[in-house]
Structure 1
């Protein structure tokens, strides 16, 4: 049986978003003996060119991810999470695909992310979908695995419209 996963930008402060963030923070906190927030605040994605994405199966929230601006050209993927009973069903891929689509729409050239060594499944997913290892770009914890994915070059939508109208 195949499931249909939808992933769309939603309000980071909605009940579903907050519950997913809480679950992820609890899991990471237990895994790494920390508060599990990885320095993320909801206000990080309440700025221009940022987003919080919720994945759903038949309307039920099953995962999330966020885009937090780093620079004019680069954005960070944060809060990637899939509820345990929904793993290996394409949820992570759907979230990443939507985050990458939004990053391109926002005009970014690359996405960066960091994960920990106790999350080999996450690292394997990132590598499978085209992310490559880079040096740590944020924080001082030396156990971080950092990744980047470059977006294909494309014209900004306004430039494209101008070209078509000539």
Structure 2
């Protein structure tokens, strides 16, 4: 395969790489960077591609490996290594472990407040919370969609007022 044919094939496959890059990175700019880096690596290593094999699979493998390498590099950058002779930073009491007990109390309070809601508000709110769309809730409960939206809004407003002690700002 000539360089021109290889470049043309790369260009044809670049469109199919974008959705895969988006699933990996979950960010459009990062996905575009990943596709670009994959294409660059594929072109610079075109001599390693064997004619007659699946170019698309080869590109997906390059992309996956590039993503994992980037991810591991990012994790290593966040790692702190104590190089002091007496391990001062490791032995200092500046680090503490959080046991997440406060989140259990908050969760208990949330469930208690939801349980205290009138069922006319609680049922649509819980259905919405579980992932139902407004129209699905309206159809299931035989209510107008405006009523469903209003009841969910009022339930959220009530919960927000009841749980204002947990507001972070």
Q: TM-score range by the shorter chain?
A: under 0.3
TM-score by length of 1: 0.26
TM-score by length of 2: 0.25
Asked which structure has the greater CA Rg, the reply is 2
Q: Which has the higher strand share?
A: 1
